Structure 1
């Protein structure tokens, strides 16, 4: 299902805001973009999220001051129906973790829902093919 121009712009704005906040290490800001019922997966085997509390722990770890991670997302497809939208994209992770330089090319999918005029992530899945 194709999104109208307004909804497409709104979803892109949420993704841009997520990237801005994540790269600025704004933990509260990042968490505010996610539904209380968030579910999903990160890139590591143990990164499983079934609620907002688990997401908070994962984001807190990612945004650790000792880490210098930069995230980029290139949207490949967007679709939706009514108050639900989905996104498929490619992502890059770069920077350092614990003093070790990293670079990973990944994939992401996300589902967002409109909550009274505000789009929030309901489901996310980041993966690194290998």
Structure 2
């Protein structure tokens, strides 16, 4: 089944569509790692929104996204982006993803470090490809103990 034929609403994602969504995620990981700005622009929607892990990493529009990606690319060399424990669901025109994420990087002369986080994404089937419409990357709050819903409890 090609992407265009999946524009029927009310259906769950097929295995083929889930593989297409995963391929988009993998293309994003590769573009991020290789600092391929043009590919990033092709993968992400013009209406992209989301959050990164930093307090100022708020993406409300395409310009915010461009600024964030350029900042990321200027501050570190990404060695790997990995997704694990990935769950992909949807209805044929929209897919939603939850996944654990890890980013291995170096900054300046520092040794490689790994950011372990969690990501969510919403993707839209455009008829010819999947476009990332919304993204969120966060890391667990270090001051909150396992088994507790709030820090300090």
> What TM-score comes out, normalization by structure 1 length?
0.91
Note if 1:106 corresponds to 2:117. Answer: yes
Partners of 1:50 and 1:8 in 2: CA distance: 27
Q: Is the 8 A contact 2:12 2:92 kept in 1?
A: no
Greater Rg over alpha carbons, structure: 2
Displacement after TM superposition at 1:2 (Å): 4.3
Partners of 2:13 and 2:127 in 1: CA distance: 18
Q: Deviations over 1:71-112 (max 9, x none)?
A: 222252110013100010011122222433432100000000
- Where do 1:109-120 residues align within 5 Å? 109-120=120-131
CA RMSD of aligned residues (A): 1.5
Note if 1:15 corresponds to 2:38. Answer: no
Q: Runs of 5+ in structure 2 lacking a partner?
A: 1-10, 142-153
Q: 1:42 aligns with which of 52, 58, 67?
A: 52
Q: Runs of 5+ in structure 1 lacking a partner?
A: none
> What TM-score comes out, normalization by structure 2 length?
0.78
Runs of 4+ in 1 over 3 A off after TM superposition: 98-101
Q: Deviations over 1:35-83 (max 9, x none)?
A: 111110011010000111110110111111x521232222521100131
Partners of 1:93 and 1:22 in 2: CA distance: 10
- Where do 1:1-130 residues align within 5 Å? 2-64=12-74, 67-69=76-78, 70-101=80-111, 102-130=113-141
User: Which is richer in strand?
Assistant: 1
